Amino acid sequence: MRLGITVLDDDGGHLRALQRWLLRDPDSAGATLTLRGRNATPGAMGPGLDLIDVVLSNVVALGGLLVAVATWRQSRANAPRVLVEREGVTVTVSGTDAEQIERLVRQLTAPQTTEPGDGTPAATAATLDQPRS
């Protein structure tokens, strides 16, 4: 499973700090984490790093990764917004509550629907810090 993690309003420092955190965190053990530019091509110089490219082996690892990202956010004084994207579905990670993490895992792993007529995945967005009804 391949994901992209972006830290909003970042000059690259938060992204590097998040990658280091994830590499050391037992909840994200086994994930392959690579810093890259969003539209980077191999060997090309670009405007800088703007996402962590993540490869996970299974859905259980996804839950651990999301917990690790949320924990990193909580360790920061300014708690930067973190987006996780998979196949056109983007979620905002902010809390560590088990029910919220489960909801994000379901959203990121749900079968993709297509927009009528164009055959592209319908992107959805969710956030952990929205009040539950």
73 or 10, higher pLDDT: 73
- As a whole number, mean pLDDT of residues 85-100 equals 90
100: Cβ contacts below 8 Å, ≥ 6 apart: 128
Which pLDDT tens digit goes with each residue over 15-70?
999 999 999 999 888 899 999 875 555 555 445 568 999 999 888 899 999 999 99
128 or 105, higher pLDDT: 105
Q: Per the domain annotation, does 133 fall within a domain?
A: no
CB atoms within 10 A of CB 26: 8
Our count of domains for the chain comes to: 1
Q: Per the domain annotation, does 13 fall within a domain?
A: yes
CA 126, 129, 130, 133 dihedral sign is positive
Residue 38: predicted pLDDT: 59
Q: Per the domain annotation, does 29 fall within a domain?
A: yes
Q: Per the domain annotation, does 118 fall within a domain?
A: yes
Domain of 91 in residue numbering reads as 2-39+47-127
Tokens of 121: 């995945």
pLDDT at 115 over 90: no
- Predicted structure pTM score: 0.76
Q: Per the domain annotation, does 132 fall within a domain?
A: no
pLDDT at 82 over 70: yes
Q: What are the beta bridge partners of residue 86?
A: 89
Q: Which runs of consecutive H residues, i.e. helices, occur in 1-133? A: 13-24, 59-74, 98-109
Which pLDDT band holds residue 114 (cuts at 50, 70, 90)? Answer: low
